[in-house]
Every structure is written in structure tokens, then in C-alpha cells.
Amino acid sequence: MKKLRIVNILILLLLLTGSCKKYVEGYEKDPNGLLETNIEQITQGILLEQQFALKDEGLRTAMIWLNQATGSQRQFLSFNNWNSVGNNQFDGPWGQLYTVISEARVMEDLADKAGNEKSRGLAKLLRAWAGGELAELWGDVPFSQAGLPDQFPDPKYDAQADVFAQVQSLLDEAIVDLNGAKIIYGDKDIFFSGDASKWIKVAHGLKARFYLAAGDYSNAKTEAAMGPSSTDDDMYAKFNSYVAPRGQWNPTFQFYWERDGYMSAENSYGVQITMNGGRDNAKTYEIIRAYYNYAPGSWWQSGYDYDLNVMIADWVGTNGKFGGPMELVTYGEMLLIQAEAEARTNGVAAALPIYNQYRTLLDNDNYLGHWGPVLSSNLTPPYGFYLPYDLTDFQAGGIENQDNVSELQAFLRELFEERYVFFIGDYQAFNDYARSFNDPDVPQYFQLKSGFNGQPLRFIYPQSEIDSNDNFPGEAPKVTVPLPMYQ
Amino acid sequence: MRTKFNVFLTLLLALVVQISFAQEKEITGVVTEAGSGDPIPGANVVIKGTNKGAATDFDGKYTIKANPGEVLVFSVVGYQPVERKVGSANTINVSLKQGDQLTTVVINAIGVEVKKRTEKGISTSKVKAKVLQTTGEQDPIAALSGKMSGVKINMASGDPGASANIVIRGPKTILGSTQPLFVIDGIPVRGGLRSSSVDGVERPSKIGDIDPNDIASVKILKGAAAAALWGTEGANGVVLITTKSGKYAKKGSIGVSVSSSISFDSALTKYPLQDKFGQGSAGIWSTSSLSWGDKISDRPGGPDDVDTTGDYFVDQDGKTWYPILTKKSKEVFNNKNYDAVINQGMQIKNGIQLTAATQKASYFLSISNLKDNGIFENSYYDRTTVNFNNSIKPSKKLKITTNFQYTNAKQNAIQKGSNVSGLLLGLYRTPADFDNSGYIGTKFKSDPNQPNVLKSQRSYRKPVGTDYKKGPGYNNPLFTEYVQKNPYKSNHVVTGVNLSYQLNEWLTLIARSGLDYASSKDETYFPIHSGNYPKGNYSSTLNSYYRINNDFIGQISKNLNDKISLDLLMGLNFSHYKSEYLNGYYGDFLLNTDTPTDDNAVDQQKNPYFKTYIIRKTAGYGSATFSYDNMLFTTLTGRGEYASTFGDFIFYPSVSVAWDFNKIDALKDSEVINSGTLRASFAKVGNEPNPYLLDTYYVGANDSDGWGAQWSASSYDGSIWRDIIQGNPNIKPETTTEIEGGMDLRMFDRLNLNFTYYNSKSKDLILYVPQAASSGYQYKWDNVASMTNKGIELELGYDIIKKDDLKWNLGMTYTQNDNVVTDLAGSDYISLNGFTSTSSGVAQGKPFGVLRSTDFERDNEGNLVLDANGFPKAGEKIYAGDPNPDFLAGIHTDLSYKGIKLRVLVDGSFGGKSWDGTTGALTHFGRTLETANEVNISATDATTIVNITGAPVNTLSYAHLNTDGSYTVRGNIKDFGAGPVLLDQVWYNTIGSGFGPVGTQFFKDATWVKLREVSLSYSLKADILKKAKIKSIDFGITGRNLWLWTKDNWGMDPETNLSGSSKGRGLQYFNHPTTKSFLFSTKINF
């Protein structure tokens, strides 16, 4: 009898043991944690990360290096010297672009399963865009295996030229998909409200941008013609200012807000040629655009002669470039690409009408900000102008050729200088320098900060990648080493 | 002669016995502990062979009716039973020897009664109830300070209800909790310490919900082997708390005791501030934030000249404050400003305890209330506890025990630390010549087109009040205490039932279930015009959690043969924990009201957050002890677990061996060594991963850089994407393996010694490890880091005098722990808490919590690199100090004479460094004594001695030219190596400031010694009391934290830590002072 009871207890214990694992099963998942998303809901995050990646900390570093801005305090003082910026400063800019790539992979997968070709096209476009920017800034980067953590925890590095080639074919796929079935969720598309035709133009615009970066001028020209074809097609980063929730603020405005005084535009070359009349001539008067990019230090109270213009409408009646939306892909850029490609392939005479078309856009107050009453009180008429150039202006002794260089050199110098100002606040200005620094057709068109060794020709690889990617190719090149395609 | 006398005695005895047989008589006596002579309450007194019995009361007294010739059996758990035959005497006093250690019963790690021999191989420290209760501490952890080796206890601050932090044998995790597991009457209870930050408020811990008066004993399981039965919850050690249970009183009567105490508290430390120089800068009075103004004694005196035409302020008492035009008054307000916010606190505590017992049942009921009005105005802690424990024995084999504890706690705390709305930050920065007394009122605007500002805050930086929705710079400390509110409410229940069934003489089955449930509401209210939220902010967090813990246990105890006996315990455990948070805040108030309603903000300013955690765990565990010849003991334990927080099954083994070497023949009868045990153990225990690290989740899309820029899709139209942190399905518990060895020795029947050495290695510590972003994730949860702890624990006791009515003993504890973080998986440094300038964190090869700060620039030999003016420059960030003490030590002595008892406890922490950020900041403001020094410089030196800008003394506008041509200037002369230079305001505002880059100049030795406790008690037992049916009255006076010595000059208590109970250590930044108190208590026993 007693034995029986013990046996019963033992059996009970065994049964309990068997149910042990079951007891904990199902509780390992966070009851407030999501294990999935869908196409509609992932879309906006990627768009927002893309614009953040293109306009945040990496851009500020590039602007300081290009003498469009200045590091004025604390750690930012050392940012002026491109040789002294540590690899870990690039963890952020690199990580942001790869976040776009990996989230876009998730979106492609979701769109694939749902048969939503248009959304898949958008995802491919975003991934290609991020890949192209990575190749422009770092050269050889992981792309074919990037953003697939399950298959490739240590993605291999593709050569810069291969990345550009992959980007082009991926953009081709994107265009096909964008012409395909289903929709882009309009309420989540902050840029074009789901209008695929606008995205197709952006895709062509990006193809033009990256062909130009790869030195394929004829393709660049063709694609640029299919890119955004009026200012209505322009794509702006949807940043806002103090009047909106913090999560919408322009990243540079936020930086000024959090790190008052770290960064300014004091003594920058960008201020010299815009604010201080360096680019002004009989046909050009830059003052409005100068105020779009820069503001007197007294406006922000950080005590420098000039700051980047992070002003917002409810303070001074206008949004500075760094206080609100910023250009991403524009009709203006397309005209600049076509002008350069035309000049390089068919000569200045063929390029000039296109460039003048671009200047007319500026003269009609495009890409100059939206200046209001307060700004106008700081200025006296005329409020800036961009009159058409003649071919003679680029010939020896002309307005843009006082030093008697070749017509092409004079034209490209003006064009690159224009791009230097137009792209204050965009990575294209940095890529322009990286691809042209040793191009005999492009004479020096701006001045770096003096006293530092070499030239900033690339972004250096981030510390996290050096430490964590087993396929990282050995030694990391210095900032002064040209990118593979520009050597 | 002697023989004759004996015969006579025998005859007499026989006669008495004969007479006594005639009638049952009342026998009384006292049962005491052999050796200590302490009374043993609750001992059973039973007439052998009958059911008739009684039990001893609180003083070990008993009364029983028995017939001469009957035999009384005195027994109680833990002591060897004694039998006495009833003779002629009406009084039978017995002293019980501590039971043969091998067969007496103790409570083991999981709260089950086991034979003591099963714990011979492990080291524990035990503190008895009365030792806790005389301390005057109301937090049971704080009450343990200095009383045992191997533990480090820190008070966060002297706020009422503030909790104490306890770490046993050093930290064993980086991101996880360093808190030990608390087990109350067998029920695992969450310690509930809020990991606090550099600002905010200090809240009570959940373990602080227990009234120390309800505790029967606290036992600390320090080592891994001792805690091994808890597996994943054992790495930080276990604190076993046993609450009081029913005591036998006279049959049919109930033991009642009523206790009451009052305590007067004051700040233990007061930071010394200068009162020589007034508000201003460069020697001139102004409404500057600084106190670098004019010399107060040089003023003409009399009332200040004021501007009665501009804006003015009418304060809460109707007093009008005008802007000062010329400062004339010599009045200083250091003391007045201080006393207005920090002064005497008072604690009142009342309680009643009822106890009753019969042979078949016992009850214990205790109700107490504590009201603590802290030393900070408007702060309080109010705790009500109900404790009901009962035990019944329906049959000889079955015993049912239930425990129930309920605590209701309320608190209002004061904002602290690095916080422009904090108390001391605003108080200490207030210039000596500014009167803080008007702190809230109306600001009348002179501009007729501007509305007056209601509920404006007046502070030294806004002497006529803040403008509407604008901040005060730093809060007026009175505003911090009286206008801001930080209420807290909590309800906490710990309850359980335990069924124990003795199947036969060697097998017992136990089934038990325990519940730990708490819910709390934690609110913070910053009205409009608060320092950090000029537009107002309200937040509230509701948290509720419960844990249900069920065990099914079988126990076998059997002698296998004459020499070998076996104790076996096997159990199954099922645990379910759930915690829910609901937090909401809103800001930018519409109305300046303290009514919490979300109508008072626009949608954009409202923010909800909610989170649920569930942890399920199941385990099988067992322990087997083989005892050989009562001399050699081997215990093996094992625990296997499945849990929802990690993927795979995990097993934790332990083995411990003990040898009673005094039982060898050579020592058996030794007069020198009474007992001696050598012990050694090895064990593996774990630290549980946080829940939900196994999967990769999809989260609201957002990102930020390291510079403050951020975006969030929820600010647009919303988006959900894959998290950048990759889950890890292979995550496992962090494991600690430890070996320890030690000796327990008793010599000369006077000296007790316990010595332990341990060496533990904690590995698989969880971090989020950076990944190649190109892969698609930026971080991954992984078991990567490791650290070691090595240490020595020593406890010594010596009975100097041990007579029946006079006893004096001396005790000592010594604790040493050396921690090294041995592997950080490639991370340079991970900050745990602090500031960008100085923080406490972990770094490879450094001790846990190492302080990192910027030093002066030095050359390769470590000499200062000086600039052209002879001043040092800022250099690199270095590991500037180890906040961990070299060792901790405590000495206590107990003296008792009849009913009078005196106890003195001194403890100290030796070595280690802390960062004195308070002095750093106050240096900047010119509030420290050092900055108020004046130096005389001869006419010639005045042209050569320069300040940091290179300006000679004679060119400084604030240097006073004396008639003899010499100069008097505020500051100090120092030689950094290139000749004497002047440290003046410019130095103290730049590189010499705590706000400057060089944090290392404010590092100090953290050594301190405290007179922790002096307590005197007397138990009055007079006949006159008996008529009032009072058994006794106990009186007590305790002085707590009466005296503090610090090696370096602190002006603060270095035991406190800015980040409270968080893992960041060694940080001082406007920490609230701790308190000293005098406690008077009475207890009436009926």
C-alpha cells in the first residue's frame, strides 16, 4: 500500500517534469512586441531614414571639410582637419545608409509576397539610391550581399565600379516595377503621395547622378533628360522646424539646438563666395541664395560672424535651408548634369543653353529659399539675379575666364562652382570634389581650409565595420587617398 | 562531614518530594541559551508522556502546573532538548545548548526546514531580530549595515523612505541586476529597487516594505554554493528573511505587546559655503549666476537701494521685492536659506503585536505604522504594515502554514542631483547675500500692456520672478520643496501557504505556493515656472506586478548505517512573473494647475507608454547530503531549468564538503578548540537575461545620431520596421562559477571565528554587441563579456565577560572584494551612469564601475604640461579612479548587565575614490571656501604673478591696492611647476571649474568611518507592573549615524551615490545628505 503511494507520487513527478518545457513555451515572445510589419507600414520609415541619412551628421562633416561650414567648438574644432576625424565618426552615416538598404530588403520581400510591383519598385529604388551614395562616399562597399543578415552576416565588399553597375541595373528593375501592378501607399509617401510617375523620374534622375559619378557622360545625359523635368517634379526632404513635432525637425537645426556653438559658417569659403560677393559679377548676384544657406551669427546668438541658416519661419519670416525642407533630387540638378555631360561630350556651345535654362530657374527664385519680409529688410534691391551667359563669357578674357584657361575649363570651373553652392547641404558637392580633384578639365573651383595635410577625398570606413565584418578588406585607406574610380 | 551533609540533603529532598506529590504545583522558570544566556522565547515545555505543555514567552519565561516526580521536557528547534524532573523547587531554570549542529533544523536557501548538517559546507551570515530592531533603521537592508562580512550596503540618501542598495561579493553582471534574490518565508520577492539616475527622486524599495520589527531573522547566502538551488536567480546571492511566528503564551491567553518609538533626525553633513563675497562677477555685485561679486564686509550696510518703478514681485507672504539698484546690506542668508529647507525631521512609529499558540496552532499578528517627516520640508514617508502568520497542525503528520504581509506605503520625495529643478543645486548656488524666502507670487509688470505673471517663481537669478512660462535658471529650493510634487503610493502583498505532510519518519512531502504582488503609482509634477520644465510637465507611472511561485518538494532523511546518513531533497518549481507598466506624461500646460488632467495639454504634448513583461520558469532541483560519522559532510545540489527568457535547458551543479576536524581523537577533548570546521565548495549559478532578447522585433521607425538629431515616423504618419538590434535565440543566462574555502572555529569557549576566501568568474555576460551595419543589423544581443571577483570575509567574536548577569562581547567583520572586468568583447568602455565629463562604467581590465574623466595634459613622465603663463591644460580622458573600497570593516560591542543592554557599532569603508562634482560646480560659482580666500601680494610680485589669461595681479580690476603698494586679491596662489600663479575667478570659471574639461581635479579619497549605532535598552519587570497585567516594559534609546569621519574633506557623506541604487558608483553631485537620529522607543508586553 505504502509502496503504491510512492509509485503514484513518482509517476506524478514524472508527468510534471514532462510538462515543464510546455509550461514556459509561448512566453518567450514580448506581448507588446511586434514580429511583423507590412508594405504599407514599412514604407514611410525607409523614406524618412533615407532623407535623414542624406542630410545628417555625415553631411555636416562633408560640409566642414569642403569649407562650406566650420567646426567652432569642442570636438567639432578637430573636424576642420579631415585627417583627425576618427573612424568611429562614420559609424552613424554608414549605419544610416545601410539601415535604408536592409529595411528596403524587408520591404522588397513583403512586396514580392504581396505581388505589389510598384512598392517593390520603390524599395529597389531606395536601396539602389543608398548604394549609389555609399559608392560615391566610400568607394568599395558591401552591396550585393548587404542587408541580408541571415545569408550574409559578413557581407563582402564590391568594387566601386561594380556597385555603380549594380545600382544602375537595380534602378532599371525599379523602373520596370514602378510601371507594374498595385500601388505605393499614398498616405505614407511623404514625397509624391504615391504618384509612381514621379518616382520613375526620380529613378532616372538617380541613374543620371550615378552615371555622372561613374564618368559615363552620355548615359548621364540621356537619363537626366528623363529625370525630373520641371520644378513640380522636385523632391525635397520633408523636414520641418520648431513649429512641428521634434521628430520632424531638420537634423542640422536639431544639431544647432542641442549643440549650440559647435558648428558655424565663420570664415568659410561658402560664405565668402555667396555672402561676401565672391561669385558676383555683371550677370550674377548671389545675395538671396547666400541668405538661404547662411545667416548672420547674431540671428542664432552663437557669436560667430556667420552660421548655417537654421532659422525658421516664425522667427525671421523665412525658413533657412537648414531649418526646413532640403533639396534631394531636382530638375535643377538634371540641368546641371546635362550641361556638364554635354560640355564634356559636345563642347561648351552645346552645353550653354542648358546651363542658361538652369540659371533662368534661379533667376525666377527657384532653389533660393522662400524669403520673406524680414529677410528683405536685410537686403537692398536688386534682390539677386542670374542672367544668361554668352559663350564669350567663357572665352579668354570673358567674365568667367579672366585667367585665360580653355573654354571648357572655364565653363566647367563655373559649373562646378555653381554645383558647390547649389549643393551646400548635399553629398553631391563632396562627390564633385572627389571625382574632379585631379581632372585637368576642372580647374580649382574652391578653397579648402588651409594648414591641413592632403585633401579630403573620401569618407573613411567606420570603426564598427572594421571591427565586426570578417570580410573587411584589411587596411582602411586614409581620407586623403582617392576613391578607386578617381585615382 | 561532607557525607553527612549529603545524607541530610537527600533526606530533606525525599521529604519535600513526598510532600510535593500530594498536590500539583505551579512551576516557573526561565529558558536561556547556553553560552550567551539570552532568553529563548517559544521553547516548548511539555510534561513527558502527556499532552500537557506550555511555552516560554518573550523573555524565555514559562509557567506550568506539574506534579513532583513528573519530568519536564524543554525543547525548541535548534537546541538540544533537556529533561528535568520536578522536585521541590518551584523554579526550574534551564539553559539549552545549541543543538548538535548536525541534526538541528535550519531554513535552507529555498526556505525549507532542513538538517543543519546539509549546510555545513557553505558560508552564510545570520542576523537576529533584536539586532535589526535596535538600529533605528526602518529599511531592513539599511539595518544590516556593518553587521556582516561579504556584503556592501549603501544608502542612496537621507530622503524619507529612500532605499538601501546591497551587493553581495561584488557585481556579477553588466546590464543585468546586481540585486540579490530576496526570499521571505520561502516566497521569492522582488527587491523592487528602482535603478535611479543622476536626477529625479529616490523611491522606497519593495524590500523596504517590511517592518524590521516583524523579522525573526535575516540570513544571507553569500556564495554560489549556498544559492545554487536557485539556479538562474542565484548569482547575486540570496537574502533569506524569516518573519515572526506565533509564540506560546499561557494557555488561553494572548501575548500582546504595544510598541512606540519616536526619532529625531537631522542632516549628518552640511556642506560649508562661503559668506564673504556676494552675488556678482569680477568683484562687482550684479544679478549674475555667480558669487564672484563684492566683499560683503566692505558694503556700507543698511537697506539696499531698490528700483520701485520697474517690475516687482509680491511673494506668498505679501512681501514686495523690488529690483536692487545698489547692494548695501551686509546681511547674509546662508543659514536662513538652509534652515528653511533642511531641518529637523521626525519619525513616529507605533505598532501592536499579538501572538498566541496552542499545541495544534499558532498565530502571529502585527500591525504597525511609520510616519517619517524627513529633514526636507514637505517630504514624508508613511508606511502601514499588517503581518499575519499562522500555523496549524490538524493531525500529527500534517502542518499547514500561511503567511500574509500587506504594506501600504506613501511618499513625497524631493527632486535631487543634476537637476535645475533639484533641491541642493539651487540651494548651494544661491549667493550668501540673497534671501530665498520669497519663492512664489505675482510678478507685476511695469509695462501696462503686459499681463502680470501669476504663480511666478522668484529665485536668485530671477530676483523679481520669472516671466510667463519662462524658467528661473535654477529653482529656488523652497519652490522645489513646496510647489513641485513627487507623490508615490504603493500596495504590496506577500502571501503564501505551505503544506507539509510527514508521510513516515523519513519522508516528508511539501507543497507550497507563494504570491508577491505589488502595485504602485509614481507621479512627478513640475508646475509652470519650474527650472527644467518652465512650461510645466506631469508624468505618472502605474506599475503592477505579481509572481506566483509553486513548489512540490520531497524530503528524505535516513541513516543508512551506523556511520552514514543521507539527507535528500527533491523538488519541482513553477514560477510565473508578470509586470505591467503604464506611463503617461504631458507637458506645456494650458492652465497652471496641479490637478492632474490631460485636458491641460494639447495632443502633441501628450505621450503614453505601456509595457508588459512575463517571465515563466520551471525547474527541477535536488540536494543530497551524505554525512559520515558526524564528521565529514558532502552535499551535492543540482538545478535544471527551462525559462521563457532563454532558449535551452540549463543545469546548475554545486558540491560542498565540510570536515569537523575537532572531532578527530586528538582534538576531541581539547579545551582550546571547542569546534572547528573546514569547508570548501564549488558551484555554478546564473543571472537571468532580460526577457525578450531571443527574437528580433519590429518597432516604430525612428533613428538618431550621437549629436542630438533624431526623427520619428510617429511625428509623421507612422511606420513600423525591423529593429536594428538583432535578437539572439541562443541567448543564455550569465553564469558565475565560484570556488570558496573557509573555516569556522570556536576556541576557549569564547572566541568565534569565521573565515572565507572565494574566487568567482562570471562569464557569458550579456551586451548588445556592435555588428557590421552592412549586414542589416547594428547590434546583436550576445553573451560575450566576463569578469572576476575575489575576496576575503572574516567575522570574529569574543566574549570578554560572560557571567550570568554581566556579559560583554566584541565582534568584528571584515570584507574585501576585488573585481576585474576581464573581457568586454572589444568595447572600450561602457558608461553605466554619470556625465559626459565624468562617468562610472566598465572597461576591460578595470574594476566594475571605474570612473572615467578628463585629466590635465601630462608628458610621458606624468608631469603637467604647462602653457606660457605657467598654467596646466586639459588633456585626455583617463580612468581616473576605482570607486570600490579596498575593504570594509565593522566593529561592534555588546554589553549587558541584568536588564540593561548597550550596543555600539562602528563601520567604515576604506580606500576607493569618488568624484566630488558638487565642489567642482560650486568652485565655478565661487561658493566654496577655497574660492573665498584672499591673498596678499607684494608690490613687486604683483607685476610678475599672473592669472590664467597672463594678466599680472596689478592689472586686475578686482585686485585691491593697499596703501603699502601691495595688492589683496580674491583667489589662491599656486605653483604648478613654473613659479607661482594666481588662481582667480578666471581660473575657477574655466579650467579650474567643475564645468571645465578637467574632472580629475575633483577626485577624492572615499574613505569614511561611521559611528553607525549606539543603543541602550532596559527591560523593566517590576511587581507593580504585574498588577496592571504588564509583564514588562522595554525602554530603548538609539543614536544612529551619530558621527562621520572622512579621510578627505567632503562636506558630504561619501557613502551616498548620485545615481542611487544604479550601478554607476562614486558620483557626488548635489546628493542629498544622509541623516543622523536619536530614537526613543518603548514596548509594553502584556
Q: How many CA atoms, within 13 angstroms, populate the side-chain half-sphere of residue B985?
A: 21
Q: Report the alpha-carbon distance of residue B850 to residue B831 in Å, rounded.
A: 9
- The answer to whether the CB of B57 falls within 8 A of the CB of B255 is yes
Give, to the nearest 10 degrees, the angle between helix A160-178 and helix A117-138. 160
CB B718 to CB A52 under 8 A?
no
Amino acid at B57: D
Would the CA dihedral through A45, A50, A55, A57 be positive or negative?
positive
Name which CATH class applies to A39-241+327-486: mainly alpha
Which chain B residue's Cα is nearest to A158? B774
Say whether A44 and B719 touch across the interface (CB within 8 A): yes
Question: Residues of B with CB below 8 A from A31's CB?
Answer: 612, 614
Mutant choice from A55, A60, A77, A99 vs B, greatest count of B C-beta within 10 A: A99
Give pLDDT, residue A244.
83
Q: What pLDDT was estimated at residue A15?
A: 60
Give A-chain residues touching B826 at CB under 8 angstroms.
Answer: 467
| Nearest to A178, CA basis, from A120, A109, A114 | A120
| B213 CB-contact burial (10 Å; exposed 0-12 / middle 13-18 / buried 19+) | buried
Q: Collect all residues of chain A within an 8 Å Cβ-Cβ radius of residue B554.
A: 9, 13
Confidence tier at A246 by pLDDT (50, 70, 90): confident
Distance CA(A443)–CA(A458), nearest Å, equals 20
Asked whether the beta carbons of B592 and B530 are under 8 A apart, the reply is no
Q: Give this prediction's pTM.
A: 0.86
- What is the helix (H) or strand (E) element at residue A355, kind and residue range? helix A348-363
User: Rounded distance, CA A98 to CA B713, Å?
Assistant: 18
Q: Which residues of B touch A24 (CB under 8 A)?
A: 616-618, 642-644
Chain B: nearest CA to A190, how far in angstroms? 9
Residue-level pLDDT at B18: 42
Residues 6+ apart with CB under 8 A from B868: B950
| Nearest residue of B to residue A239, measured between CA atoms | B711
Q: Hey, is the C-beta of B873 within 8 angstroms of any chain A C-beta?
A: no
Taking the Cβ of residue B826 and every Cβ of chain A, the question of whether any pair is shorter than 8 Å is answered with yes
Q: What is the pLDDT of residue B252?
A: 60
Q: What percent of chain B has pLDDT over 90?
A: 70
Q: What is the pLDDT of residues B654-691, one digit of tens each?
A: 999 999 999 888 888 888 999 999 999 999 999 999 99
B775 touches chain A (CB under 8 A): yes
Of B697, B718, B774, which is closest to A44 when you measure between CB atoms?
A: B718
Task: Give, as one character, the DSSP assignment of residue B213.
Answer: G
Q: Taking CB atoms and an 8 Å limit, are B552 and A141 in contact across chains?
A: no
Task: Measure CB to CB from residue B644 to each of A27, A91, A102 and give the nearest one.
Answer: A27
Query: Is residue A228 reached through a cis peptide bond, with omega within 30 degrees of 0 on the bond before it?
Result: no
Q: Going by DSSP bridges, is the β-strand pair B238-243/B181-184 parallel, antiparallel, or unpaired?
A: parallel
pLDDT (average), residues B407-434 = 95
Which residues on chain A are in Cβ contact (under 8 Å) with B692? 28-30, 33
Cα–Cα distance measured from residue B527 to residue B479, given in angstroms and rounded to the nearest whole number: 10
**Has residue B152 got a pLDDT over 60?**
yes
Tell if the CB–CB gap between A146 and B705 is shorter than 8 Å: no
Residue of A nearest to B707 (CA): A255
Which residue from B128, B160, B640 is spatially nearest to B372, judged by alpha carbons?
B160
Q: Is B504 on the interface with A (CB under 8 A)?
A: yes
Q: Contact B708/A259, CB-based, under 8 Å? A: yes
CA distance A376 to chain B (A): 29
Q: Measured between beta carbons, which residues in chain B are less than 8 angstroms from residue A465?
A: 772-774
Q: How far away is chain B from the Cα of A247, in angstroms, using its nearest Cα? A: 4
More confident residue, B729 or B825: B729
- In Å, how far is A338's CA from the nearest CA of chain B? 33
- Residue B517 contacts residue B480 (beta carbons within 8 Å): no
Whether residues B711 and A29 touch (CB distance < 8 A) is answered with: no
Among the residue ranges B65-74, B227-236, B976-985, the one predicted with the least confidence is B65-74
Three-state SS letters, B779-822: EEEEEEEEEEEEEEEEEEEEEEEECCCEEEEEEEEEEEEEEEEE
Q: What pLDDT, on a 0 to 100 scale, did the predictor assign at position B670?
A: 85
The least confident of A299-303, B12-16, B1034-1038 is B12-16
Determine the residue of chain A that is closest to B874 in CA distance: A74
pLDDT in tens, B313-328: 999 999 999 999 999 9
Q: Is the pLDDT of residue B4 over 70?
A: no
CA nearest to A470 within chain B: B772
- HEC string for B249-289: CCCCCCEEEEEEEEEEEEECCCCCCCCCECCEECCECCCCC
Select from A423, A449, A450 the least CA-distant residue to A435: A423
For A443-449, what is the mean pLDDT?
97
B390 pLDDT exceeds 60?
yes
Q: How confident is the model at residue B2 (pLDDT cuts 50, 70, 90)?
A: very low
Please give the Cα distance from B993 to B927 (Å, whole number).
12
The cell numbers describing B272, all together, are 560649508
Q: Sort out which chain B residues have CB atoms less than 8 A from A254's CB and list them.
A: 708-710
- For A214, residues 6+ apart whose C-beta sits below 8 A from its C-beta are A161, A164, A485
Instruction: Please answer whether residues A309 and A317 qualify as being in contact, where contact means their C-beta atoms are separated by less than 8 angstroms.
Output: no
Judge: B708–A57 Cβ closer than 8 Å, yes or no: no
Strands B725-726 and B779-802: parallel
Q: Which of residues 712-731 of B touch A (CB under 8 A)?
A: 712-722, 724, 726
Enumerate the H helices of A237-330 as residue ranges: 251-258, 269-274, 287-293, 297-300, 313-316
The overall longest dimension of chain B from CA atoms, in Å, is 117
Using the predicted structure, report yes or no on whether residue B1006 has a pLDDT greater than 80: yes
Distance CA A204, CA A262 (A): 38
Instruction: Kindly list the domain boundaries of chain A, sorted by start residue.
Output: 39-241+327-486
Interface residue B963 vs chain A (CB under 8 A): no
| pLDDT band (50, 70, 90) for residue B195 | low
For A434, B291, B430, B1014, the CA distances from B277, given in Å and listed in that order, are 59, 7, 12, 41
> Stretch B365-379: mean pLDDT, rounded?
96
d(CA B460, CA B313) in angstroms, rounded, equals: 13
Question: Which string of b and e fits B724-740 if b means at least 16 CB within 10 Å?
Answer: bbbbbeebbbbbbbbbb
- CB atoms A30 and B692 under 8 Å: yes
The torsion angles phi and psi of B764, rounded to 5 degrees, stand at 60, 30
* Partners of residue B724 in chain A, C-beta under 8 Å: 95, 99
Residues of B in contact with A94 (CB under 8 A): 773-774
Q: Which of A41, A52, A465 is closest, CB to CB, to B772?
A: A465
- Max Cα separation, chain A? 119
Q: Which residues contact B424 (CB under 8 A, 6 or more apart)?
A: B271, B416, B477, B918, B1070, B1071, B1072
What nine digits make up the cell of A447? 578653397
What is the predicted pLDDT for the residue at B251?
A: 57
Higher pLDDT, A314 or B1022: B1022
B665 interfacial to chain A (CB closer than 8 Å): no
For B555, residues 6+ apart whose C-beta sits below 8 A from its C-beta are B112, B114, B507, B508, B509, B510, B567, B568, B569
Per DSSP, the three-state class of A340 is helix
pLDDT of residue B21: 45
The pLDDT, as a whole number, for residue B78 is 67
Q: How far is A124 from chain B (nearest CA, A)?
A: 15
Query: What are the DSSP E strand ranges found in B103-204?
Result: 105-107, 113-115, 124-128, 151-155, 164-168, 181-184, 187-189
Q: Where are the alpha helices (DSSP H) in A146-280?
A: 160-178, 196-213, 217-226, 251-258, 269-274
Q: What residues of chain B lie within 8 A of the CB of A156, using their CB?
A: none
Contact assignment for A247 to B716 by CB distance below 8 Å: yes
- As a whole-number percent, the residues of chain B with pLDDT over 70 amount to 96
- pLDDT per position as a tens digit, B841-883: 999 999 999 999 989 989 999 999 999 999 998 888 899 999 9
Is B778–A99 a contact, with Cβ atoms under 8 angstroms apart?
yes
Q: What torsion, rounded to 10 degrees, do the Cα atoms B1063, B1066, B1068, B1073 define?
A: 80
Partners of B497 in the beta sheet? Answer: B402, B513
pLDDT score, position B805: 86
As a whole number of angstroms, the distance between CA B1046 and CA B797 comes to 27
CA distance B172 to B445: 59
pLDDT tens figures, B707-722: 889 999 999 999 999 9
pLDDT given for residue B13 in this prediction:
44
Across B56-65, B944-953, B1063-1072, which has the greatest mean pLDDT? B944-953
Cβ neighbours of A15 in B, within 8 Å: none
| The residue type at B591 | L
Does residue B788 have a pLDDT over 50?
yes
Q: B695 and A28 in contact by Cβ < 8 A? A: yes
Residue recorded with cell 564528521: B631
Q: Sign (positive/negative) of CA torsion A475, A477, A483, A487?
A: negative
Give the pLDDT mean for B290-303.
Answer: 96
pLDDT tens readout for residues B1045-1059: 999 999 999 998 887
Cβ <8 Å between A246 and B715 = yes
In this structure, the strands spanning B632-643 and B650-660 are: antiparallel
User: Residues of chain A with pLDDT > 90: what percent?
Assistant: 76
As a whole number of angstroms, the distance between CA B863 and CA B876 comes to: 14
Q: What is the mean pLDDT of residues A34-61?
A: 97
Instruction: Please check the confidence at residue A13 and state whether its pLDDT lies above 70.
Output: no
Higher pLDDT, B945 or B93: B945
Give the Cβ contact number of residue A6 at 10 Å: 12
CB pairs under 8 A between A and B: 227
- pLDDT score, position B102: 54
Closest alpha carbon to B511 in B99, B983, B112, B968: B112
Per-residue pLDDT band at B615 (split at 50, 70, 90): very high
Q: Which of B543, B529, B539 is nearest to B596 (CA)?
A: B539
Looking at the complex, does the CB of residue B644 fall below 8 Å from at least one CB of chain A?
Answer: yes
Q: Quickly count helices (H) and strands (E) in chain B.
A: 11, 61
Chain B residue with minimal CA distance to A252?
B709
Confidence of residue B103 (pLDDT cuts 50, 70, 90): low
Say which of B504, B715, B772 has its CB closest to residue A468: B772
Per-chain mean pLDDT for chain B: 91
Cβ of A42 within 8 Å of Cβ of B642? The answer is: no
Nearest to A465 among B617, B705, B774 (CB): B774
pLDDT for position A7: 62
**In this predicted structure, what is the pLDDT of residue A368?**
86
Sheet strands (E) in B505-536: 507-526
Residue B75 pLDDT greater than 50, yes or no: yes
